[in-house]
Chains A and B, each alone.
Chain A
C-alpha cells in the first residue's frame, strides 16, 4: 500500500523538479513544503547529540525543546489548525505573533535549529548543515525578504522557548550534589569498567511538561533486596545471571539492537576508545521519523508527531529518574560479581545510574502509547534506526510490540531485573496515557485520521 502510494508521487515530484529548474523562481517552496526537510533537520540534531555524548535524560531535553520551538512557530498561525502548547505544558506562554512575509516552515526550521544549537555543545556540524540548507533555498529562489522575515521570526520564537527552557532547573541542577556512594549493601554502586558517577540524581527537579509532578506515577516498589535464595528478588537476580550465561543469537541481537548507550568505553590495556550511539529517546525519535515517512505525513504532521513523542519521552525520563534515585537499586552486575561469579560481565555495558525502573521500559512505552494514539495500533514498520550503527533492521507489528521488545532487551543485556522491566512498562504506560489525554495539538484530533 505504502509503496504504491510513494510510487505515485514520483512523477509529480519529477514534474515539480523540471518545472522548478525551468522557472528557477519558487522551487524553494517545494523544499520547504517537503516534510523531508524537517526530517533532515531532526536527523542532524540527533547526530549532534550523539557526537556530544549526551546522557539519555539530557538528550530528551534537547529533542523536546527543539521540536516544541518548531511546533510553536507553526501553531502561531491558524493556517495549520495546530493548537499552541502554551497553557498546556508547564509555564509556557504564547509566542509573539508572526510578522508579515514569514514562511512559517522556514521559521519553524530556524527555530528548531536555533534551539537545537543552543542546547548542544559542538555546533559546527549542525551549523554547516543549516548554512547549506539556507544556501540551497536561496539558489531555489527564496527572496531575501521572505528569508529575513522567516529567520527573524524563527529567532523570536527560539528566544521565547529558550527563555522558558532556561527556567526548568537544568542550570541549577548542574551543581547540585553528586550522589554519595552508600555503604548500604543493596544501594546502587558505580559499575565496571569506568565506575562512572551516577548521572542526573536530581533529574526529578526538572520541570515536567505535561505531568503534574515527577512522582505522579510512582511504580510499584521493587522487591525487598536480599540474597535470601527463596526470595523473589534473588530469583530475579539469578534469572539475569542465567539468561546472560545462556544467550542465544536472537536474544543477543535484540539486546544489542536496543542497547542505545550513548557512550561505551573500550579498554585495551592503557589504550582506550569509545563507541557512541543514539540514546533510547533518540531511537524513538527515529521510529517517529519512520512512521511519518511511512504515512507520507506532511510538514505540519511530522512536526506534530515529533513534538508529541518528544514531550512524552521528556516526561517519561523525569518519571523514571525520579524512581531511580528514590529506590537506588543496585545493578545485577555488582551483585553477581560479589556473590556469584567475580568475572561475570553483562552482554551490554551497564549504564551509570541505578537499576529500578528500567529507562528503556518506561520511555519506550510512553513513546509507544503516544505514537499509537497518533498513528494507530495496527502499524507494521521496519525499524532501521540502528542501521547506521551497524545493527540490522528489525520489524514490528505495532509500536507497543516494539516497546515490549525494548523493555525485555534489558534483561537479555544483563543490566536489568525483570521487576524493573515489567513495572517500568506499567509506569511508562501511565505516563503515555496521561500525555495523550492532556496534550491537544490539533483542533480536532479525530480529523487526523486522514493523515494515517
Chain B
C-alpha cells in the first residue's frame, strides 16, 4: 500500500556522506528494524520504524489501514545515530508497551548508548535507558526481553556486534575471552534495574561475536526460555539452554550438526505441525546461478577444516532450515525443502500468511551495493584509490561506492506445496517488488484475522502489505490475547497449542524476533479448512497451564494466567529398542584430500570404510567380526566374549597389510573346509593406478583347536581400486563364486574401471571368468555396490549392480554366460550416485525387491530424467590429466556448477577467454569449449538422486518408488533388513551421511539411523521414541551379529568410533 493510502511515509535513507560508507562501517547496509505493538491499548497495532541516520518514527494505527505519524508528540524519535533493532516490551511491567531501541553509534564509536522509551500511558514516552541500566555502550544490534528465571519480571539478552574489524582478527577461537568494552550481554532484572550478569549465567561476549540475530525458543520443551544467537562471519552461532533459570549452557554443537556461515536474521516456529519449533537462519547464498557466479566465492576446503579444528563447527554459506527432532537434535533440510538460497538475506519470519494452517517463511533480502562483486574486487578498483590504499593513506571510498553495482531483489515467501517442498510465492502473493529490505514484522493491522506485513527498506519507501487472504480464501483463524501477571504482563514465553486430530498448530510467544524487529502481541493462527479444534492448551510457565476444549474459531479469545491451573510435566517413560554397548575401536581415516589432486571433483573417493564382515570364527555359536582399516591402519578381528561384547585378537597378516585401504570384506567358506575364510577388497585413490596397494586380499582360515590363524591366498586379478565383493554360487556347482566391483581408476575419475567375476574350483582356487561369462563388466562403470538375486525365479543367481553415474544394471544368468538386460525397465532413468543395494520384499508380494541407497535430495544437486546432471570429462588443456566439468541443466542448456576461479585454476587457458566474472557467469558449456573439445568428452549423467525401492513385478521387471522424504536427507551407504522390534516382521534400517565434500556443497549429516517398518504397500518410519537410536557421523556399514543374550548391531563409522547396539 502506498504512503498516501496509509500515512506511513518512511524511508531508511542512506545518503552517502563523507567518512561513512560500507568500507568504513561494516554494518552500513544492515538497515533498520520494525516494531509493532499496541502502544495506546486501543486494540490496533501501531508501527515503529527504525532509521539508521534520521529520526525513528512511530505511526499510530487509526484503523482501516490509516496511520498518523506521532513521533514528535510521543517523543520517541531518538537522538542517537545508527539505530538498528527495536524491541517492544512492557519492560517496567505496568501493562503498557515500552520501546527499546538499539544504537550502534557514529563511525568513531561515540554516542551509541541504547535508548529506552518508557510509555507514560498518555501518548507520550520518556527516555530512561540510563535509569534502567540499559544504556549499553556496545555496537548493539538487537535485544530480547523475557523472563529468564521465571521470577515474574523481564530480563534482557542484548546482542552486540563486535567493535573489531573482522580483518584485524586472525581466525582464533577466543570465544571465552570476554570483551571488556562490548560483546553480547545478559541483563537480569533486579527490582526494575537491569544488572549485567553475563559471566555468572555463562553468556559469551567476545570480540569474535558478530551477532545479527537473536531468537528465543524452548528447544527442549522444559518451559524455560532458551536462546539461539546467529553470528555473522567466522564465529559460529550459539544455542543457550536455560538451566532452570540459574544459568545458560551453550550446546549448539550437540543440537546442530551444521549451521549457516554468515548467519543473519533467524526465526523459530513450528513448520510441520508437530508442536516443535524449527529454526530457520538466513545467510547470503544467491539463488540465481548467474548472480552466484558474479558475487560469490566459497571458502576453501582447507580453510573450512582449519576453522573446524579451531572450534568453529560446520558452517556453510546457505540458509539453514533445522527440523526439530524433539529429542535433543535438529536435522538440517534447507536444500531438500528448497529454502537454502535467498541471496543476501536479513529478516526471516515464520508465520501463516494464507491461514491454511501451515506456517510460511518470509525472507527480507537485498543489499544496496553488491559489495562482494568479484569483478569489482579483482578488476574494477580504481587506480588512484588503490595507490592511496597501498600507501596506507585515506582512501576515497566514495569512488568505490559509485563503482559497485546495485541490484535490488525480490523478497521471498516460501509456502509448502503438496510435495513437501517450499515454493517461492513472492510473485503470486504480491511481495516481489525489488528492494533492499532488512527488518520486517507482521501483525493483523486491520483486525480481519490475517497477518499483514511491514518491511523496512534502504533508500526506498517501507512496504506496508495488507493481507487479503480473508477475501481470497475461506480459511479459518483464531486470534488470542494473553495476559500475564506480576511484571510479565504480556505473558512472554507462553506457548499456545491447538490440537486438531494428529496435528498441533503451535505458537511460542516471543514477539521479538526476525531481524532487528518486534511483532505484535496478539497471536493470530491460521486453521485452513479445519473447523474443529479438539482443544487449546496454553503453557504459561513450568507449572501453569490453561486447557480449553473445542474453542470457537474465527474470533479473538482473551486468556489470563490468573485463570490457569497448576500443572506438572508428566515424566516420560521410554523403553527403546536399542541399547548402546560400551566398545572402543576407532576408525582413523588417513590424511588424504582428493581435492588436492582434482580441483573440480565434488566428492572424495578416499573416505570409504570401515567395512564390516561377520562370522562365527571359533564355532562357539556366537558371531565374531572383522572391521577394516583405512590406509596405514590394519583391519582387526574381534571375537565374541560371550557377554554381548568383543575382544580383539591379533592377526599378524592383517597387521602386515596395514597399508591397504579396506573398503569391503566378506567371510565365506571359499575352500569348503568348514571354516570361514576372509576376503578384503582394497580401495581408495591414495595410490597410483596399478599400485600393489590395490591388491585384494584373500586370507585362508587355517584355525586349529580354536587358535585363529590365516594364510595368504591368491586371487587371479590385477590390483585395482575396488568397492564391493558379493558371493554366490552362480554356476550351481556347490561352491561359492565371487563378484568384485571396481570403484575407480585413481587419477582417471569417470573412466570405467573393470569389475570381475571369479569362479571357484571347489577348493578355494579362483579363476577369472569375466571375459567368457560377463565381458561387459570390463567397461561397466564406477561400481559401488551389487547384489545377487534370482529375480526371475528361474533357479539361478542374477547379478544387480549400481554405481556412481550408473543406472541399476541387471546381468541375467543364462547358464553359460550373463546377459546384460538392456531392455530392463527399471534401469531407465535410474542413473544415480548410488551407494548401496539390498534385497527385500518390500511390498510383501512374494517377489524379492531391491532397495537402492542413493544420494538423496537434501543437496545443492538436483536431477531428473528431464534435467540430468552432466559430467564432461576430457583433457581439455592437453596436459595429460583429465578435467571434470560438472554441469546443471537449465532451459535446454548445460552450465557448469563451477565458479570462474575454480574452473580457471584447473583450466588456465580459459583465463584468456573469460577475463572477467561477468564474461563467464552466463556461459553454457558449448560456449566455453569448442565442438571438437566437447565431442571428445566422455559424458556421464545422473537422472535420479532419490533413494528408493525397485519393486519386482514378478513378470521380469521392476518399478521405482522413492523412499519416504526423510530417508532422502542424506546419502545412504548401508542398509539392513531385520526384525529389530521383535514383532515378527522385518524392518529396514538405512544409514549413511557424507562429509567428503567441499564447503560449497556442505556436508550431509541428517541421517541418524532410520528404521522403517514394512507395512503392506509402504514404509512407515519407526520413531525415535521407539528406537532410541541416534547415530552421529558418517556410517559406512551396519551389520548384525548374534550375541549370547541379544542380537547386536555393529555400526562402522568413518573416522570415528565404532558402535555396538544390542536389541
Query: Which of the 9-residue segments A59-67, A90-98, A271-279 touches chain B?
Result: A271-279
Per-position 1/0 for B54-80, Cβ under 8 A of A: 000000000000000000000000000
Whole-angstrom distance between the alpha carbons of A304 and B905 in the complex? Answer: 34
Q: Please name all residues of chain B whose beta carbon is closer than 8 Å to the beta carbon of A345 when the two chains form the complex.
A: 168, 170
Query: Which of the 9-residue segments B18-26, B542-550, B669-677 touches chain A?
Result: B18-26
Whole-angstrom distance between the alpha carbons of A444 and B753 in the complex? Answer: 62
Partner of A343 from the list B168, B376, B596 (CB cut-off 8 Å) is B168
Per-position 1/0 for B365-401, Cβ under 8 A of A: 0000101100011110100001111111100000010
B372 (CB) vs chain A CBs: closest residue = A270
Whole-angstrom distance between the alpha carbons of A343 and B164 in the complex? Answer: 11
Partner of B881 from the list A175, A178, A266 (CB cut-off 8 Å) is A175
Given contacts A177-B596, A195-B300, A271-B22, is CB(A343)–CB(B371) below 8 Å? no
Given contacts A121-B915, A337-B172, A389-B387, is CB(A269)–CB(B166) below 8 Å? yes
Partner of B169 from the list A343, A388, A389, A391 (CB cut-off 8 Å) is A343
Task: Tell me if A18 is interfacial: C-beta within 8 Å of chain B.
Answer: no
Whole-angstrom distance between the alpha carbons of A92 and B838 in the complex? Answer: 62
Query: Which of the 9-residue segments B2-10, B301-309, B577-585 touches chain A?
Result: B301-309
Shortest CB distance A31–B (Å): 28
In the bound complex, do residue A267 and residue B306 qualify as a contact, i.e. CB atoms below 8 Å apart? no
In the bound complex, do residue B596 and residue A180 qualify as a contact, i.e. CB atoms below 8 Å apart? yes
Whole-angstrom distance between the alpha carbons of A180 and B388 in the complex? Answer: 37
In the bound complex, do residue A175 and residue B376 qualify as a contact, i.e. CB atoms below 8 Å apart? no
Which residues in window 166-218 of A have CB below 8 A to B?
Answer: 171-172, 174-175, 177-181, 183, 189-190, 192-193, 195-197
Task: Tell me if B597 is interfacial: C-beta within 8 Å of chain A.
Answer: yes
Q: Which of B171, B302, B388 gathers the greatest number of chain A CB atoms within 10 Å?
A: B302
Given contacts A171-B879, A270-B371, is CB(A179)–CB(B906) below 8 Å? no
Task: Tell me if B749 is interfacial: C-beta within 8 Å of chain A.
Answer: no
In the bound complex, do residue B165 and residue A268 qualify as a contact, i.e. CB atoms below 8 Å apart? yes
Shortest CB distance A192–B (Å): 5
Q: Please name all residues of chain A whose beta carbon is closer than 8 Å to the beta carbon of B167 when the two chains form the complex.
A: 193, 266-268
Given contacts A178-B595, A195-B306, A277-B390, is CB(A172)–CB(B879) below 8 Å? yes
Task: Tell me if A123 is interfacial: C-beta within 8 Å of chain B.
Answer: yes
Q: Please name all residues of chain B whose beta carbon is closer than 8 Å to the beta carbon of A123 when the two chains form the complex.
A: 912
Task: Tell me if B751 is interfacial: C-beta within 8 Å of chain A.
Answer: no
Q: Please name all residues of chain B whose beta carbon is closer than 8 Å to the beta carbon of A121 when the two chains form the complex.
A: 911-912, 915
Whole-angstrom distance between the alpha carbons of A53 and B883 in the complex? Answer: 24
Given contacts A343-B169, A389-B390, is CB(A268)–CB(B596) below 8 Å? no
In the bound complex, do residue A269 and residue B22 qualify as a contact, i.e. CB atoms below 8 Å apart? yes
Q: Please name all residues of chain A whose beta carbon is closer than 8 Å to the beta carbon of B381 when the two chains form the complex.
A: 273-275
A53 (CB) vs chain B CBs: closest residue = B378
Shortest CB distance B89–A (Å): 30
Task: Tell me if B174 is interfacial: C-beta within 8 Å of chain A.
Answer: yes
Q: Please name all residues of chain B whose beta carbon is closer than 8 Å to the beta carbon of A172 when the two chains form the complex.
A: 879-881
In the bound complex, do residue B23 and residue A268 qualify as a contact, i.e. CB atoms below 8 Å apart? yes
Whole-angstrom distance between the alpha carbons of A343 and B169 in the complex? Answer: 6
Per-position 1/0 for A109-152, Cβ under 8 A of B: 00000000000011110000000000000000000000000000
Shortest CB distance B911–A (Å): 4
Which residues in window 875-899 of B have CB below 8 A to A?
Answer: 877-881, 883
Partner of B302 from the list A122, A190, A193, A270 (CB cut-off 8 Å) is A190
Task: Tell me if A11 is interfacial: C-beta within 8 Å of chain B.
Answer: no
B305 (CB) vs chain A CBs: closest residue = A181
Shortest CB distance B162–A (Å): 11
Number of A residues whose C-beta is below 8 Å from B? 48
Task: Tell me if B821 is interfacial: C-beta within 8 Å of chain A.
Answer: no
Shortest CB distance B907–A (Å): 8
Mostly helix, strand, loop or mixed at chain A's interface?
Answer: loop
Shortest CB distance A272–B (Å): 5
Q: Please name all residues of chain A whose beta carbon is closer than 8 Å to the beta carbon of B560 when the two chains form the complex.
A: none
Whole-angstrom distance between the alpha carbons of A288 and B36 in the complex? Answer: 70
In the bound complex, do residue A269 and residue B300 qualify as a contact, i.e. CB atoms below 8 Å apart? no
Task: Tell me if A242 is interfacial: C-beta within 8 Å of chain B.
Answer: no
In the bound complex, do residue B306 and residue A268 qualify as a contact, i.e. CB atoms below 8 Å apart? no
Shortest CB distance B169–A (Å): 7
In the bound complex, do residue B170 and residue A342 qualify as a contact, i.e. CB atoms below 8 Å apart? yes
In the bound complex, do residue B262 and residue A270 qualify as a contact, i.e. CB atoms below 8 Å apart? yes
Which residues in window 414-442 of A have CB below 8 A to B?
Answer: none
Task: Tell me if B530 is interfacial: C-beta within 8 Å of chain A.
Answer: no
Task: Tell me if B718 is interfacial: C-beta within 8 Å of chain A.
Answer: no
In the bound complex, do residue A178 and residue B596 qualify as a contact, i.e. CB atoms below 8 Å apart? yes
Partner of A342 from the list B172, B305, B387, B595 (CB cut-off 8 Å) is B172
In the bound complex, do residue B371 and residue A272 qualify as a contact, i.e. CB atoms below 8 Å apart? yes
Partner of A175 from the list B22, B174, B387, B906 (CB cut-off 8 Å) is B906
B404 (CB) vs chain A CBs: closest residue = A271
Task: Tell me if A100 is interfacial: C-beta within 8 Å of chain B.
Answer: no
Q: Please name all residues of chain B whose beta carbon is closer than 8 Å to the beta carbon of A271 when the two chains form the complex.
A: 22-23, 369, 371-372
In the bound complex, do residue B389 and residue A268 qualify as a contact, i.e. CB atoms below 8 Å apart? no
Given contacts A121-B912, A174-B877, A276-B386, is CB(A190)–CB(B168) below 8 Å? no
Q: Please name all residues of chain A whose beta carbon is closer than 8 Å to the beta carbon of B387 when the two chains form the complex.
A: 388-390
Partner of B391 from the list A264, A265, A266, A390 (CB cut-off 8 Å) is A390
Task: Tell me if B599 is interfacial: C-beta within 8 Å of chain A.
Answer: yes
In the bound complex, do residue B390 and residue A273 qualify as a contact, i.e. CB atoms below 8 Å apart? no
Shortest CB distance B344–A (Å): 9
Closest 9 CB pairs of A and B: A269-B26, A271-B371, A267-B167, A121-B911, A390-B387, A390-B391, A178-B596, A175-B881, A268-B23
Pick 29 A–B contacts, CB within 8 A, sort by A: A51-B379, A123-B912, A171-B877, A172-B881, A174-B877, A175-B877, A175-B879, A178-B596, A178-B597, A178-B599, A180-B591, A180-B596, A181-B302, A190-B306, A193-B167, A195-B171, A195-B302, A269-B371, A271-B369, A271-B372, A275-B386, A275-B389, A275-B390, A276-B386, A337-B170, A342-B170, A388-B387, A389-B387, A389-B390
Contacts A172-B880, A390-B391 aside, 17 further interface pairs with beta carbons under 8 A come to A122-B915, A174-B879, A183-B591, A190-B303, A196-B300, A256-B390, A268-B23, A268-B167, A272-B377, A274-B377, A274-B381, A275-B381, A275-B390, A337-B170, A342-B170, A342-B172, A343-B168
